[in-house]
Amino acid sequence: MSVPFSRSLLALALAATLGPVALLAPLPVAAQSAPSVRGLPDFTDLVDMVGPSVVNIRTLERSAGRNAQGGAPDEDMLEFFRRFGIPIPPGAVPRTPRQQPGPDGGGEARPRGVGSGFVLSADGFIMTNAHVVDGADELVVTLPDKREFKARVVGADTRTDVAVVKIEATGLTPVKFGDVNRLRVGEWVMAIGSPFGLENTVTAGIVSAKQRDTGDYLPFIQTDVAINPGNSGGPLINMRGEVIGINSQIYSRSGGFQGISFAIPIDEAVRVSNELRATGRVTRGRIGVRIDQVSKEVAESLGLSQAKGALVRGVEPDSPAAKAGVEPGDIILKFDGKEIDKSVDLPRMVGNTRPGSRSTMTVLRRGAQRELSVVVAEIEPEKPETRAAATPEPTPAPTGGAVQSLGLLLAELSAADAKGLNVRGGVRVAGVTGAAARAGVREGDVIVAVANTDVGSAKEVEAVLAKAEKGKPVTLLLRRGEWAHYAVVRPQR
Inside any domain, residue 101: no
Inside any domain, residue 189: yes
Whether 144 and 170 share a structural domain? yes
Inside any domain, residue 97: no
Instruction: Write down the pLDDT at residue 287.
Output: 94
Catalytic residue among 63, 76, 157, 161: 161
In the chain, % of residues over pLDDT 70: 75
CA–CA gap between residue 12 and residue 17 (Å, rounded):
9
Instruction: Write down the pLDDT at residue 265.
Output: 94
**Residue 446 neighbours by CB distance under 10 Å:** 21
Q: What is the pTM of this model?
A: 0.65
Alpha helices in 319-414 (DSSP H): 320-324, 345-351, 401-405
CB burial of residue 425 (10 Å; 0-12, 13-18, 19+):
middle
Among this protein's residues, is 232 annotated catalytic? Answer: yes
User: Do the annotations mark residue 230 as ligand-binding?
Assistant: yes
- Residue 5 three-state SS: helix
Instruction: Write down the pLDDT at residue 493.
Output: 58
Whether 44 and 188 share a structural domain? yes
Instruction: Write down the pLDDT at residue 396.
Output: 54
User: Do the annotations mark residue 232 as ligand-binding?
Assistant: yes
Domain that holds residue 189: 39-63+72-88+106-282
Among this protein's residues, is 267 annotated catalytic? Answer: no
Closest to 465 (Cα-Cα) out of 402, 404, 412: 402
Inside any domain, residue 388: no
Whether 113 and 170 share a structural domain? yes
Query: What is the torsion angle, in degrees rounded to the nearest 10, for the CA atoms of residue 182, residue 186, residue 192 and residue 194?
Result: 130
Whether 273 and 289 share a structural domain? no
Segments of the chain with pLDDT less than 70: 1-38, 63-109, 214-217, 251-258, 380-402, 492-493
Choose the final residue of a domain: 344, 363, 378: 378
Count up the domains in the chain and report the number. 4
CB burial of residue 188 (10 Å; 0-12, 13-18, 19+):
middle
Whether 469 and 368 share a structural domain? no
Instruction: Write down the pLDDT at residue 464.
Output: 85
Whether 214 and 339 share a structural domain? no
Inside any domain, residue 396: no
Find the CATH number of the domain harbouring 351: 2.30.42.10
Catalytic residue among 53, 131, 301, 417: 131
Whether 344 and 374 share a structural domain? yes
H/E element, 437? helix 434-438
Please state whether beta strands 358-365 and 261-265 pair in parallel, antiparallel, or not at all (unpaired): unpaired
Inside any domain, residue 392: no
Among this protein's residues, is 445 annotated catalytic? Answer: no
Instruction: Write down the pLDDT at residue 192.
Output: 95
- Contact yes or no for 213/219 (Cβ under 8 A): yes
Whether 292 and 435 share a structural domain? no
CB burial of residue 243 (10 Å; 0-12, 13-18, 19+):
buried
Whether 211 and 316 share a structural domain? no
Whether 257 and 370 share a structural domain? no
Give the tens place of pLDDT for each residue, 159-217. Answer: 889 999 999 999 999 999 999 999 999 999 999 998 888 888 999 999 999 988 765 56
Whether 196 and 140 share a structural domain? yes
CA–CA gap between residue 365 and residue 309 (Å, rounded):
12
Inside any domain, residue 383: no
What distances in angstroms separate CA 60 from CA 68, 103, 107, 108, 141, one per listed residue?
17, 19, 12, 9, 11
Inside any domain, residue 391: no
- Contact yes or no for 114/144 (Cβ under 8 A): no
Phi and psi, residue 237, nearest 5°:
-125, 135
User: Do the annotations mark residue 56 as ligand-binding?
Assistant: no
Whether 49 and 133 share a structural domain? yes
Catalytic residue among 116, 194, 232, 261: 232
Choose the final residue of a domain: 234, 267, 282: 282
